[in-house]
């Protein structure tokens, strides 16, 4: 049957167009998700699988390291978007206002996001190095010797130090997206505000921000989801230490699956399943909370 004839009936056309995408989706997304859920109710060893019911989930409830990982991941996911988006907003407004050297700053601030987490991790391990890292050298240079410390080696500073890295890395991306949103604003609305003697502060708060609200909220959700899944940076820099202070759910799943000298994939699957539900629920909740009930018209 030729393609033209096949496309003559609607359902055939639908099938032809959907099949490739559906096949990829089922093979690479739906099946792994379903299989992970199925695994979570089993002890999955290489040559045998044994149904254990809710045993993996019961163990999870008692697992202190898991809850510590949940806490760290939530702290990261909730604080990072605020830092990234708010700093990005200030930077994008500065560029929008065409500060001197705007073109240079746009490139400079955007560059970190072009690097992989691996490269970023290695760079920041050097920067945070106690003896010769730039961070401590600067503190020594300005006479703040007492502030010098192994930033990634202390349980109290390791997580904030990592949050600082992701903020540095992703602010540029947020800035570029916000800048695009600012440039797409209708100039007549801004001009009308200026004609009404609206100052820059009022113009930003009462005119610009409401109009780019949707972009801001999308960036917050994107950043939130990204941090809920964070793995690479932690693995390169701290591997979850010291004292699990930077353990995230993703690093813990990896450790349980590949580093705890057991081939069992059941328990890590239970962790991954619970986390999948939490991430999904959080995104739905955020979307609902940020849903704009009254559309702005301009």
Partner 1 sequence: MLNISARIRAALAALGLAMLAMPCAQAQEITVWSHWAAEAVKRGYVEEAAKRFEASRPGVKVKITWYEKTALYAALRTALRAGQAPDVFYAEPDQTDYIDNGFLADLSSGLNWGNIEPWAKTAWTVGRGTYGFPLEASTVELYYNRKLLEELGVKLPPNGQLEQGAFLDLVKKAKARGITPMSQGVGDRPFPGAYVTHEVLLKKLGTKEYDDLLRGKLSWNDKRVVEALQFVKQLVDAGAFPASFTSLKLGESHTYFHTNPGALMFQMGSWYTSRAFNPTDKGGQPAGFPLGIMQMPAMTGGACNQCKTMAVGGSFVVNAASPRKEVAIALLNSMATPEMGNKWLENVLVQTGIKTDASKVSGPHADYFKQLARANEGNTYYFGMPIQVMQGKPKEVFTQVINNAFPAGSIGIDDVVKQMNAAK
Contacts of residue 144, defined as CB under 8 A and 6 or more positions apart, other chains included, come to: none
Q: Is the dihedral of CA 68, 158, 117, 181 positive or negative?
A: positive
Phi and psi, residue 267, nearest 5°: -65, -50
Query: Residues in the site for partner 1, rule: CB under 8 A?
Result: 45-47, 64-65, 125, 128-131, 150, 152-155, 241-244, 255, 258, 260-263
CB 183 within 8 A of CB 96: yes
Is the CB of 34 or the CB of 243 nearer to partner 1?
243
Phi and psi, residue 53, nearest 5°: 60, -130
Is the CB of 102 or the CB of 125 nearer to partner 1?
125
Residue 142 exposed, middle or buried by CB count within 10 Å (0-12, 13-18, 19+): exposed
Is the CB of 63 or the CB of 279 nearer to partner 1?
63
Residues 224, 30, 50, 43, Cα dihedral to 10°: -20
Quick check: helix, strand or coil at residue 43? strand
Quick check: helix, strand or coil at residue 2? coil
Q: How near is the Cβ of 63 to partner 1 at its closest, in Å?
A: 9
Q: How near is the Cβ of 241 to partner 1 at its closest, in Å?
A: 6
Q: How near is the Cβ of 23 to partner 1 at its closest, in Å?
A: 22
Is the CB of 157 or the CB of 218 nearer to partner 1?
157
Is the CB of 126 or the CB of 298 nearer to partner 1?
126
Is the CB of 154 or the CB of 229 nearer to partner 1?
154
Q: How near is the Cβ of 156 to partner 1 at its closest, in Å?
A: 9
Q: How near is the Cβ of 58 to partner 1 at its closest, in Å?
A: 16
Per-residue tokens: 54: 């809710």
Q: How near is the Cβ of 255 to partner 1 at its closest, in Å?
A: 7
């Amino acid at each position: 049957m030729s393609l033209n004839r096949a496309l003559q009936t609607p359902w055939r056309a639908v099938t032809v167009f959907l099949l490739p995408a559906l096949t990829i989706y089922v093979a690479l997304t739906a099946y792994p998700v379903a299989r992970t859920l199925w695994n979570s109710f089993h002890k999955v060893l290489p040559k045998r699988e044994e149904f254990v019911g809710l045993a993996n989930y019961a163990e999870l409830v008692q697992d202190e390291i898991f809850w510590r990982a949940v806490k760290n991941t939530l702290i990261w996911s909730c604080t990072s978007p605020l830092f990234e988006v708010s700093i990005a907003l200030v930077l994008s407004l500065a560029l929008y206002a065409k500060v001197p050297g705007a073109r240079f700053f746009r490139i400079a601030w955007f560059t970190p996001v072009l690097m992989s987490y691996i490269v970023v991790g290695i760079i920041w391990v050097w920067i945070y190095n106690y003896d010769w890292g730039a961070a401590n050298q600067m503190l020594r240079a300005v006479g703040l010797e007492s502030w010098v410390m192994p930033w990634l080696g202390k349980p109290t500073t390791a997580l904030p130090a990592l949050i600082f890295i992701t903020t540095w890395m992703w602010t540029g991306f947020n800035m570029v997206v916000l800048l695009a949103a600012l440039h797409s604003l209708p100039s007549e609305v801004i001009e009308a505000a200026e004609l009404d003697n609206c100052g820059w502060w009022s113009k930003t708060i009462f005119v610009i921000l409401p109009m780019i609200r949707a972009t801001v909220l999308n960036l917050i959700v994107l950043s939130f989801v990204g941090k809920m899944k964070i793995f690479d940076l932690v693995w390169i820099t701290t591997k979850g230490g010291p004292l699990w202070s930077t353990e995230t759910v993703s690093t813990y799943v990896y450790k349980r699956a590949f580093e705890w000298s057991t081939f069992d994939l059941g328990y890590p699957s239970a962790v991954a399943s619970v986390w999948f539900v939490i991430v999904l629920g959080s995104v739905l909740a955020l979307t609902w909370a940020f849903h704009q009930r009254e559309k702005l018209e301009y």
